[in-house]
């Protein structure tokens, strides 16, 4: 490829285009390219630094799609944590029972409080895909 052809070709798709945009004329476009396609564009490597508007559009579409996927993942994980959160049943001497719904608690603060309490066990929460919790045998049930 000749130097002249290389300078009028898009760095990403190599299509010849007379209407190219320099990567460094658009704030953070070089970072966007690296995030999407892992190509690091630097001034010192003597490779073209211009991209076509079609590729810029593809990068923007990719980032929108990535954001949609990230948001969906967060929503699913949040729902998964709420729907699989165990509840604790506390029985007092009078055989009255109290249900505690753990989904209303912030997991981090709950764990912090348990860890700082004396004579308390540390509770860990299993992820959604984990196996069911084992049955606990207490002295009273033997």
Binding site for Zn(2+): which residues? 10, 13, 52, 55
Binding site feature residues: 10, 13, 52, 55
Coil/strand/helix, residue 54:
helix
Coil/strand/helix, residue 77:
helix
Q: HEC string of 83-140? A: HCCCEEEEECCCCCEEEEEHHHCCHHHHHHHHHHCCCCCCCCCCCCCCCCCCCCCCHH
CA-to-CA distance for 84 and 131, rounded, in angstroms?
A: 11
Report which of 138, 49, 31 is spatially closest to residue 91, judged by C-alpha positions: 138
Both tokens of residue 51?
């991209």
């Amino acid at each position: 490829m000749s130097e002249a052809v290389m300078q009028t070709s898009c760095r990403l798709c190599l299509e010849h285009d007379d209407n190219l945009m320099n990567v460094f004329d658009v704030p953070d476009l070089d970072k966007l390219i690296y995030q999407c396609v892992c190509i690091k564009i630097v001034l010192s490597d003597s490779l073209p630094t211009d991209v076509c508007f079609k590729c810029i559009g593809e990068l923007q579409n990719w980032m929108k799609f990535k954001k949609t996927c990230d948001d969906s993942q967060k929503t699913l994980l949040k729902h998964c944590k709420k729907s699989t959160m165990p509840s604790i049943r506390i029985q007092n001497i009078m055989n009255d029972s109290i249900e505690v719904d753990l989904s209303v608690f912030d997991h981090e603060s709950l764990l912090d409080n348990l860890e700082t309490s004396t004579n308390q066990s540390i509770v860990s929460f299993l992820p959604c895909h984990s196996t069911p919790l084992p049955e606990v045998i207490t002295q009273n049930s033997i």
